[in-house]
Amino acid sequence: MNPKNLHYTMPAEWAPHERTMLSWPVQASMVYPGNFDEVCGGYAELVKAIAEFEPVTLVVNPEDVERLHPVFAGHSIELLAIPHNDAWLRDNGPTIVVNEEGERAGVNWGFNAWGGKYSPWDLDDAVAPAVLEHLGLRKFDAPLVLEGGSIHVDGEGTMLTTEECLLNENRNPSLSREEIEEHVKNFTNVEKIIWLNRGLAGDETDGHVDNAACFAAPGKVIIQVCDDPSDENYAITQENLRILEEATDAKGRKLEIIKIQQPPYLEYEGSRLTLSYLNFYFVNGGIILPVFGGAAAETDRLAEEVLQQTFPELRIRTVDGMAVIREGGNVHCTTQQIPAGR
């Protein structure tokens, strides 16, 4: 049995949350372990910002529980001891699905550390089942390696993803495009997938869509764009823009497209940082938006302005994205929403 056969559906991210879940960083697995204190400071700021809007459960390694209790005392933050290798719960955590009666269950996707890039990942692959056991939710095991950051849904039958990631041979080499699409539809209950070609330049996830484009509402998509033809992201974002302009959703609607300018090009230790305002996260009554400061001050301001105009009813809560981004991801990558049941 799969979720679709039992009428479970993956809700849109802006649907009401019971809580948000995140994982705490692990120094041993960091790309730049010398940045551990700075990264932890950025995570703590992010966790506390989310707790301004809704309860938070923070997955921590058992040996970190006692040390972190005073850090989050006085906030709506639960510490949950689950062994893990890395901090990106969006990608190794469960996808929660909800049926017509408001009953919830969870999809346990296979996880292989973004195509086997970071070893070991055995603890991370066991996180989703442990989270679902903690939540007391039914588990659906998907026969597919998939990270949560590679998909985004509108809650009305349409999904955004990228071929660069979902069809990458380092994820599911034995499956055809048609088989992958069938599995994704069966486990999220979407009717139509809009396939972008590539994600942003420098993205070590092989082009996760959560850096490139996302739904703002059914029939409405936000895309990060680049206006500099000398930047690799120019061709990437122009192609994605063309695909979205030509697409229709599961309801047959043409898409309204909202553009956000990318931050200025930035390297760290010789590698391009994949800076994206699209890596924001919906919370109850608000949006958590990473900003980057410095040379990005003007695009920071414009991104906040565009999101406030797009979501006038929501509070835009900015957080410093630089500490977290140096570890390879950002706000959306770290989070996993737990939709409210009924």
- Is beta strand 220-225 parallel, antiparallel or unpaired with respect to 256-261? parallel
Nearest to 89 by CA among 155, 19, 153, 33: 19
CB 280 within 8 A of CB 331: yes
SS3 state of residue 322: helix
How far apart, in whole angstroms, are the C-alpha atoms of residue 206 and residue 222? 20
Name the β-bridge partners of 254: 248
CB 282 within 8 A of CB 14: yes
Helical H runs in the chain? 36-51, 65-68, 89-92, 113-116, 122-125, 127-135, 163-166, 177-188, 232-246, 297-310, 322-325, 331-334
End-to-end CA distance of the chain: 23
How far apart, in whole angstroms, are the C-alpha atoms of residue 337 and residue 89? 10
* Distant-in-sequence, close-in-space partners of 236: CB < 8 Å, separation ≥ 6: 197, 198, 199, 200, 201, 212, 226
Nearest to 57 by CA among 111, 115, 17, 116: 17
Q: Which helix (H) or strand (E) holds 108?
A: strand 104-110
CB 6 within 8 A of CB 97: no
C-alpha to C-alpha distances, 7 to 18, 74, 103, 272, nearest whole angstrom? 21, 39, 10, 42
Single-letter amino acid code for the residue at 10: M
Active-site annotation holds for 40 = no
How far apart, in whole angstroms, are the C-alpha atoms of residue 13 and residue 337? 7
How far apart, in whole angstroms, are the C-alpha atoms of residue 341 and residue 101? 9
Catalytic residue among 40, 165, 226, 333: 333
Catalytic residues: 333
